Amino acid sequence: MFNSSSDRLVTKLREWISSAPAGAQLPSTRELVAEYEISPVTVQKALRTLISQGLVESRPGIGTFVRSVPVTRPNDYAWQTAALGTPRNHLPQVHPTQRAFPNDVIALHSGYPDHELLPQRLVKSAFARIARTESVLQRTEAAGLPELQAWFASELNEHLMPGLGAPTARDVVILPGSQSGLGSIFRALVGEGEPMLIESPTYWGAIMAASQVGVTLIPVPAGPHGPDTEELDRAFERTGARAFYAHPNFANPTGAQWPATVAERVLEIVKARGAFLIEDDWAKDFGISTESSPLAARDDTGHVVYLRSLTKSVSPAVRVAGLIARGPARDRILADNQAQSMYVSGPLQAVALDVVTQPGWGTHLRSLRTQLANRRDQLIGALDRHVPQAHLQSVPSGGLNLWVQLPDGTNLRQLERDCESRRLAIAAGASWFPAEESGQFLRLNYSGPNPGAFDEGARILGEALNIQWG
C-alpha cells in the first residue's frame, strides 16, 4: 500500500529504470504529469528520491538520466593496520548497555532511565525558551556559564559540614557530560602509565576512559558497604598511586552507599597519602530510601574532586556535568578539557540551568523517588518468583540498577544470547570489573521502559538459566 502519489511514481520509475540502459533519458516532467495525472511538485519529489538513491542523475537544462552503475570491488584497508599499529586496548565499539533493540524487546540492559522518568515538560519548555535567546548565537567561557557554575557550587554547599570553607562558582568547571570529564580528570591528575586505584566492580565507562588515557588501574575490592579500606590503604602504599576513583553514593553497578565510618576512613587515607579522591556522584538525583551524601562536602583541602552529571536525570540530549575541584587540580583539568572540547554548548548549559531552577524540578524529583522505588521492588519481586538462583547482595537505596549474582559456572555470554533470542536484553557483569570478575553477575536496570514486562523478563531469564543448568 502506497503512502502518496510520489511513492507510486517512484515505484513505477524504478521498474522502468530496471530495464533501461545506462544513460537513458527519463520522460520529461511534463510527460510524467500528463501520464500519471499528478502535479509537477509530486514529480520533482519523486525524482529527488531516485537521485538520493543513486538511480538517476539530473543534468540541468537537459533532463534526468539513468545512472551507469559502476563495477564495485571490495575496498582494501589493510594498509591502515600497519599505519595504525597495535591498538592499546580492544574495547568494543559499542558497549552492551548502549545497544539499541526493537520496542518489543524487554530492555533490562541499558544504563539510562526511560523517558517517562524524565522531566519532559520542563525540558521541552526550557528548549523553547532558550531557542528565543541570544545564547543560540554565542559561545560561552571555557569554564562554563557562570550562573550554572554557581548552581553546582550552591547545591554542594547544601551538604557542607559546619566549619568548612564553601566551594565557589570559581571552583566549578562545566563539562560536556561526565564521560568526557573522566578522561580529562585522569589525564590531569594521574597521567599515562601511572597507577590509579579504583573500586571493583565499578562503572565500565571509567574503565574505558582510563584505558584510553593509558592509566594503570589497581582494583580495590568493594562490596555492599563500599571498599575494603585496609586494602585501599595497602594499595596506596604498594603502588604509590595518587588518586582513587569511587562511587560513594549508589555505586554503579552495585547500588552500594558507603556508611559514614567508611567515608571518614577513606578521607583519612587519601589525606594521609597526599592523594585525590575522584568522587563520581552519578546518581545524585536517584536516591530512593536515602539521599546522596557527597564526600566533597566534608573536605575543603582539595583532596576530593567531585563530578556530578545532569545527563541522566534531565535528559540524554542535555549532556552537561559539573566538576568541583580546588587549587591547581582544577586549573589542570580545565586546561585538558579545553584541549579536548573547547567549551560546552551555551544553549545546552542554559537549558540545564533552566530545568534545575524551576519550582517543578523539586516536585519531579520527589515523584521520581516513588517511581524508582516501585520499579525496583517490582523487579526484585519478579526475580524472587522466577529466578531463585539469583542472589541480590543488598537492596539498593538509590540508583537505577540491581546487581545480581548467579551460580558459579554460569555461561553469561550464552545466557545473553539465549535471552535475546527470547526478546530479553540483559547485561553481563564482566565489563564492570577492572580485572578478573569475582563471580558471575548481571546488572539489571529497573528504570528502563515498560516495567509491566518485568515479570515476563524474569520468567525468560529463569527459563534460560534452567536450560543452561539442565
Q: Is the pLDDT of residue 462 over 60?
A: yes
pLDDT for 33 beyond 50: yes
- Cα atoms in the Cβ-side hemisphere of radius 13 Å centred on 84: 9
- For 196-229, the three-class secondary structure string (H helix, E strand, C coil) is EEEEECCCHHHHHHHHHHCCEEEEEEEECCEECH
pLDDT(297) > 70:
yes
| pLDDT for the residue 70 | 54
User: Average pLDDT, stretch 388-414?
Assistant: 94
Domain boundary among 357, 389, 405: 357
Q: In this structure, are 154 and 258 located in the same domain?
A: yes
* pLDDT score recorded for residue 3: 55
Residues 105 and 157 in one domain: no
Q: Which three cell numbers, joined as nine digits, stand for 370?
A: 516513588
**Preceding peptide of 201 cis, ω within 30°:** yes
Which pLDDT value is given to residue 123?
Answer: 96
Question: Is 462 a member of any domain?
Answer: yes
CATH number, position 240: 3.40.640.10
User: Do residue 128 and residue 111 come from a single domain?
Assistant: no
> Are residues 201 and 338 located together in one domain of the fold?
yes
Mean pLDDT of 414-443: 92
Judge whether 82 lies within some domain. no
Is the pLDDT at 455 greater than 60, yes or no? yes
| Cell 564521560 found at | 179
pLDDT score of 57: 87
Q: Do residues 217 and 196 touch, judged by C-beta distance below 8 A?
A: yes
Q: Are residues 366 and 348 in the same domain?
A: no
Domain that holds residue 259: 121-357
| Cα(278)–Cα(282) distance, integer angstroms | 12
Final residue of a structural domain among 357, 375, 409: 357
Contact 253, 111 (CB under 8 A): no
Judge if 125 and 113 occupy the same domain. no
The string of pLDDT tens digits covering residues 131-180 is: 998 878 888 888 899 999 999 999 999 999 999 999 999 999 999 988 88
Q: Are residues 316 and 422 in the same domain?
A: no
Residue 274 domain-assigned (yes or no) = yes
Question: Is 59 inside any structural domain?
Answer: yes
Nearest in space to 442 (alpha carbons), one of 470, 469, 415, 409: 415
Residue 77 in domain:
no
| Residue 94 confidence (pLDDT) | 66
The pLDDT score that the predictor gives to residue 72 is 55
pLDDT score at 470? 67
284-289 average pLDDT score: 96
Which of 5-14, 220-229, 256-265 comes out lowest in average pLDDT?
5-14
Report the alpha-carbon distance of residue 39 to residue 42 in Å, rounded: 5
CATH of residue 380's domain is: 3.90.1150.10
How many residues are recorded in the chain? 470
Query: What was the pLDDT predicted at 111?
Result: 85
Of 75 and 43, the one with more pLDDT = 43
Residues 354-380: what's their mean pLDDT?
97
In a domain, 90, yes or no: no
pLDDT in tens, 307-340: 999 999 999 999 999 999 999 999 999 998 888 8
Please state, in angstroms and rounded to a whole number, the distance separating the CA atoms of residues 133 and 144: 17
CB 245 within 8 A of CB 205: no
The reported pLDDT for the residue numbered 88 is 65
Rounded to the nearest angstrom, the gap between the alpha carbon of residue 333 and the centroid of all alpha carbons in its chain is 21
What confidence tens digit (pLDDT) does each residue in 222-257 have?
999 999 999 999 999 999 999 999 999 999 999 999
Q: Is the pLDDT of residue 2 over 50?
A: no
Alpha helices in 387-453 (DSSP H): 412-421
What does pLDDT average to over the chain? Answer: 90
Q: Determine which of 99-108, 198-207, 404-413, 424-433 has the lowest per-residue pLDDT on average.
A: 99-108
Q: What are phi and psi of 34, to 5 degrees?
A: -70, -40
DSSP state of 302: S
pLDDT reading at 71 higher than 70: no
Considering only CA atoms, which of 131, 101, 104, 110 is closest in space to residue 312?
110
* Residue 40 shares a structural domain with residue 183: no
| pLDDT band for position 49 (cuts 50, 70, 90) | confident
Sign of CA dihedral 38, 44, 48, 53: positive
Percent of the residues in the chain that have a pLDDT greater than 90, as a whole number? 71
**pLDDT value for 209:** 93
Packed helices 40-52 and 29-36: angle between N→C axes, nearest 10 degrees = 110
Same domain for 263 and 321: yes
Whose CA is closest to 235, among 192, 200, 189, 279? 200
Q: Using CB atoms within 10 A of its CB, is residue 239 exposed (0-12), middle (13-18) or buried (19+)?
A: middle
> How many CB atoms neighbour CB 45 within 10 A?
17
* Whole-number pLDDT of residue 1: 39
Within 311-358, residue ranges assigned H as helices are 311-314, 328-341, 346-356
In a domain, 21, yes or no: yes
The answer to whether residues 208 and 327 belong to one domain is: yes
Residue 98 scores a pLDDT above 80? no
Residue type, 92: P
- Whether residue 323 is contained in a domain is answered as yes
Asked if the model's pLDDT at residue 290 lies above 90, the reply is yes
Residues 313 and 428 in one domain: no
pLDDT over 70 percentage in the chain: 96
Are both 337 and 271 inside the same structural domain?
yes
Count of structural domains, the chain? 3
Last residue of a domain, one of 357, 385, 415: 357
